[in-house]
Amino acid sequence: VIGSGAMGSGIAQVAAAAGYQVKLFDTRQGAVEKAIADIRAVYVKLMEKGRMTQQAAAAASDRLHDMASLRDVADAAIVIEAIVENLDVKRMLFADLEGIVGDECILATNTSSISVTAIAARLRRPERLVGMHFFNPVPLMALVEVISGLATSKEVAGTVYATAEAWGKNPVHASS
């Protein structure tokens, strides 16, 4: 997950609780460490309220990892971007990611206001970019929009849909 603000940390919280290894990155110094500490505190509260077992909370906490550099995402199967709503910044990030991740890695944007097609337009492999739009607050809101751009492959959209379901969300397909 790239970006550790409200959306990025919420996505990380949900993914780790669902059993997925999560790496979190942010360019702001100290932001990832704070986000991970806050997520772990949420797990403790859920455990205290009986909504999560101590074992599940500990396991989810252990699945959260910080990244020292964007290069640490090289082995990811999916990268979800949750950064500033700026087309040029998103395009730059995804261009950088294309040079780091493997060819099978899915690239997802959490954007709610920028066209997936526009973000993907300059990528070498635009078919692997998809929208995975979570609603705020991520842990409480069940809906996830899986947004296909003009070039998004059906397989990529299907995998992201299935991933959202595996995370306990209610995905719906959309296009941009």
Catalytic amino acids? Answer: 133
Residues near 22 by beta carbon (within 8 Å), at least 6 away in sequence: 1, 12, 15, 16, 63, 64, 65
User: What's the CA gap between 16 and 149, in Å, rounded?
Assistant: 27
State the DSSP string of 80-130. Answer: EE---S-HHHHHHHHHHHHTTS-TT-EEEE--SSS-HHHHHTT-S-GGGEE
Q: Please name every residue paired with 24 in a beta bridge, in sequence order, or none if there are none.
A: 66
